Amino acid sequence: MTAREPGELECGSRHCITCGDDGVPMTVLKVDHARELALCAEQSGARSTVELALVAPVARGDRLLVHAGTAIAALTEAGT
């Protein structure tokens, strides 16, 4: 199972990670291009493996919106 910071495991914190339908902004740390997976980190530092198929190509340092382990959008400055 993906490692998480203990403090992030509670509902009522900024993100309830026990509900798969919650979007979490994450930063890409390392990309496995062959498998379309990336190691990503939340703001708290908690890391997990993220599916990239819907947003590829991505690079180290990119910010992604992650739902249930899958990045569904790239977060960019445009439109903010």
The binding site for other proteins (CB under 8 A) comprises 1-2, 4, 11-12, 16-23, 25, 43, 48-49, 51, 53-55, 63, 65, 67-70, 72-73, 75-76, 78-80
Of the candidates 54, 56, 52, 30, which has an alpha carbon nearest to the alpha carbon of residue 41?
30
Q: Least distance from C-beta 31 to other proteins, angstroms?
A: 16
Q: Which is nearer to other proteins, 29 or 53 (CB)?
A: 53
Contact 5, 47 (CB under 8 A): no
Q: Least distance from C-beta 64 to other proteins, angstroms?
A: 10
